[in-house]
């Protein structure tokens, strides 16, 4: 039976396809027993379930509330005795409805926790896969059910880690120009937190069987943009060795000028003079969250991509996103070139074929599936201005049988992730260092797209999350039987990349590294295949835009 997808089935901003969280096979009921590990701070008691040892809410840094608000996170606390690590920790402060963890606490300023999944039975030297959740830069958590790491860890003998980190105003408010040295880097606390988590992992992951010399960072949507930043951050450089940027190509981030303007707007709204900025330390976090939401509305809210899609998804609602401050983030992640510090680190980059379907459902835009030719032209002009006609012509030349709706979803999906992914792949390739692998996730979820629409859901934004974590036995990835093969393919490709730096899986064709001659792209589905330079006219039109 077709399964309707509405706002309950999607997490706003790309965190995960939630279904109903309890449907996740990764969290299916089973016998549990205690397991134990010891890290530098003390001893931990976790939960052993179905062949996986799970440790939740491990503090990787200290408190960032009170006097530490907007400051660099302090070292993690130590504890006496055995710390319980069986329940999720608090996610970052965020608007309601952005997290989907089972029995997850309410959001809190003090949110610097991580979760670890490792195969039971011991062993050493396992690859480590560190995930940054989606939700733009304003929502999400490392405890969401769709990205539970148990299946990925068990089936591939890897250690999976997911972090919570500061978000929104509390994670990215730029105070460098008014607050002094102690607040240098304030516009990047959210991604700096992840760098500190990577440092913690490097020092402690051996206690969970992981190899600190073989760490892969990966993330979807906002998590892909965070991964883009980490790929260019000196504080993270020593602690990871490979990366995957998924549906979140962060080519450029916020400039200092744009971030400073957001800070001025915030202070003016609160009636605080710049010289009195310290009053921000006493404003309740709930009030700051209200201000974040209000500023997001006044700025038009989060955009699916920058106005120029070649810049990737590097801006957040109301201007809260990583800032190129010359300090924590010395330069744009992939502009004008790929970061030198990661020259020798292999990279995967790509996105989903039908990204825009997610956003149409989120916005209850049933008209997107009923477009006339003039309706398509109007949407293209509103977004792309005088470039619209050239874009439409290129897409029509490659898709002569496509309907206006087909073209709309193709153009806007590429604008979200495809164009920026191509920029990253080309600039990484031109370094002449480690290889870059380009992909397109094409698995179609199926089921009715939304009420009032006589069409099925395709490879929408965020559908790849339960698939790559192989959490597909329930309904997180729909109900088609083919989801089982798709989950096996993608999870094995990502785990093999983490192990060796070259993605491969049984029954999947060889995935060639990207080059400017063939431009090979792995199309990920229940049956995978490689396409050389798919739809070249579409690729070229984006590069020709002025």
398, 321: one domain: no
Q: In angstroms, rounded to a whole number, what is the distance separating the alpha carbons of residues 99 and 94? A: 9
Domain CATH number, residue 370 = 3.40.50.1820
Closest CA to 311 of 233, 191, 394, 423: 423
Question: What pLDDT, in 10s, does the model give residues 309-351?
Answer: 777 766 554 579 999 999 999 999 999 999 999 999 999 999 9
Closest CA to 106 of 122, 120, 94, 124: 94
Q: In angstroms, rounded to a whole number, what is the distance separating the alpha carbons of residues 191 and 137? A: 9
332, 394: one domain: no
268, 304: one domain: yes
348's enclosing H/E stretch is strand 347-352
Q: What is the DSSP string of 10-41?
A: B-TTSS-B-S-GGG-GGG----EEEEEEEETT
CB half-sphere exposure, 129, CA atoms < 13 A: 33
> Would you state the structure tokens that stand for residue 121, as one six-digit string?
């039975």
The number of domains in the chain is 2
Q: In angstroms, rounded to a whole number, what is the distance separating the alpha carbons of residues 187 and 111? A: 17
Q: Are strands 113-119 and 159-163 parallel, antiparallel or unpaired?
A: antiparallel
pLDDT at 12 (0 to 100)? 31
Question: Does 117 reside within a domain?
Answer: yes
CA distances (Å), origin 427, targets 67, 137, 347: 41, 24, 12
322, 289: one domain: yes
Domain boundary among 310, 342, 374: 342
Q: In angstroms, rounded to a whole number, what is the distance separating the alpha carbons of residues 63 and 166? A: 11
Closest CA to 192 of 153, 250, 233: 233
pLDDT at 2 (0 to 100)? 30
399, 326: one domain: no
208, 300: one domain: yes
158, 110: one domain: yes
498, 413: one domain: yes
> Would you state the structure tokens that stand for residue 91, as one six-digit string?
């996610």
234, 264: one domain: yes
Question: Does 410 reside within a domain?
Answer: yes
CA distances (Å), origin 68, targets 112, 183, 285: 13, 10, 13
User: Catalytic annotation on 141?
Assistant: no
pLDDT at 28 (0 to 100)? 46
- Angle between helix 285-298 and helix 256-270 axes, rounded to 10 deg: 120
Question: Does 3 reside within a domain?
Answer: no
Question: Does 1 reside within a domain?
Answer: no
**Residues of the chain below pLDDT 70:** 1-30, 297-307, 313-318, 546
State how far Cα 76 lies from the chain centre.
25
pLDDT at 313 (0 to 100)? 67
Question: Does 13 reside within a domain?
Answer: no
Domain boundary among 311, 342, 373: 342
pLDDT at 454 (0 to 100)? 93
Whether the Cβ atoms of residue 484 and residue 472 lie closer than 8 Å to each other? yes
Which one from 24, 132, 186, 221 is the annotated catalytic residue? 221
pLDDT at 23 (0 to 100)? 40
278, 195: one domain: yes
Question: Does 7 reside within a domain?
Answer: no
Q: In angstroms, rounded to a whole number, what is the distance separating the alpha carbons of residues 296 and 319? A: 7
302, 400: one domain: no
Question: Does 448 reside within a domain?
Answer: yes
Q: In angstroms, rounded to a whole number, what is the distance separating the alpha carbons of residues 437 and 10? A: 28
The pTM score is 0.94
Whether the Cβ atoms of residue 302 and residue 138 lie closer than 8 Å to each other? yes
Question: Does 504 reside within a domain?
Answer: yes
Range of the domain at 53: 21-342
Q: Provide the H-helix boundaries in 363-403.
A: 373-384, 388-398
Degrees (nearest 5) of the Cα angle 418, 132, 449? 50
334, 367: one domain: no
Domain boundary among 304, 320, 342: 342
pLDDT at 26 (0 to 100)? 41
């Amino acid at each position: 039976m077709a399964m309707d997808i509405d706002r309950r089935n999607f997490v706003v901003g790309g965190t995960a396809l939630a279904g109903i969280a309890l449907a996740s096979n990764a969290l299916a009921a089973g016998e549990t027993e205690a397991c134990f590990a010891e890290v530098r701070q003390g001893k931990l008691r976790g939960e052993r379930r179905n062949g996986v040892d799970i440790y939740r809410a491990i503090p990787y840094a200290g408190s960032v509330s009170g006097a530490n608000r907007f400051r660099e996170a302090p070292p993690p606390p130590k504890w006496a005795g055995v710390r319980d690590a069986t329940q999720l920790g608090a996610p970052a402060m965020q608007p309601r409805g952005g997290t989907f963890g089972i029995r997850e606490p309410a959001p809190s300023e003090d949110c610097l926790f991580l979760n670890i999944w490792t195969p039971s039975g011991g062993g050493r030297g396992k690859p480590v896969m560190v995930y940054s959740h989606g939700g733009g830069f304003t929502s999400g958590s490392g405890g969401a059910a769709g990205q539970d790491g148990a299946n990925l860890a068990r089936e591939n003998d890897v250690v999976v880690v997911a972090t919570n980190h500061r978000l929104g105003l509390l994670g990215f408010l730029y105070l460098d120009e008014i607050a002094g040295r102690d607040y240098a880097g304030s516009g990047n606390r959210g991604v700096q937190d992840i760098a500190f988590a990577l440092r913690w992992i490097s020092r402690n992951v051996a206690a969970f069987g992981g190899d600190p010399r073989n760490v892969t960072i990966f993330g979807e949507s906002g998590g892909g943009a965070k991964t883009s930043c980490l790929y260019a951050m000196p504080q993270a450089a020593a602690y990871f060795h490979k990366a995957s940027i998924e549906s979140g190509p962060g080519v450029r981030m916020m400039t200092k000028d744009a971030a400073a303007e957001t800070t001025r707007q915030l202070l003016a709204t609160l009636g605080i003079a710049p010289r009195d900025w310290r009053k921000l330390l006493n404003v309740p976090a709930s009030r700051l969250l209200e201000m974040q939401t209000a500023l997001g509305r006044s700025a038009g809210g989060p955009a699916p991509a920058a106005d120029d899609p070649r810049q990737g998804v590097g801006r957040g609602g109301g201007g809260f996103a990583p800032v190129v401050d010359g300090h924590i983030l010395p330069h744009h992640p992939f502009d004008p070139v790929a970061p030198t510090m990661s020259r020798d680190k292999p990279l995967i980059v790509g996105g989903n074929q039908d990204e825009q379907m997610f956003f149409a459902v989120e916005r209850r835009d049933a008209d997107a599936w009923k477009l006339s030719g003039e309706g398509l032209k109007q949407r293209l002009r509103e977004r792309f201005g005088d470039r619209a006609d050239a874009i439409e012509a290129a897409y029509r030349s490659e898709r002569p049988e496509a309907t206006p709706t087909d073209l709309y979803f193709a153009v806007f999906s590429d604008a979200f992730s495809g164009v920026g992914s191509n920029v990253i792949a080309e600039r990484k390739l031109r370094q002449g260092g480690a290889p870059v692998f380009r992909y397109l996730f094409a698995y179609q979820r199926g089921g009715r797209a939304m009420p009032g629409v006589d069409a099925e859901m395709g490879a929408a934004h965020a559908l790849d999350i339960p698939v790559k974590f192989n959490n597909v036995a329930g309904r997180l990835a729909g109900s088609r039987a083919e989801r089982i093969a798709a989950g096996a393919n993608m999870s094995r490709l990502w785990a093999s990349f983490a192990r060796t730096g070259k993605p491969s899986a049984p029954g999947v064709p060889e995935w060639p590294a990207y080059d400017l001659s063939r431009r090979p792209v792995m199309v990920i589905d229940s049956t995978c295949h490689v396409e050389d330079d798919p739809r070249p006219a579409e690729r070229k039109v984006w590069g020709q835009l002025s």
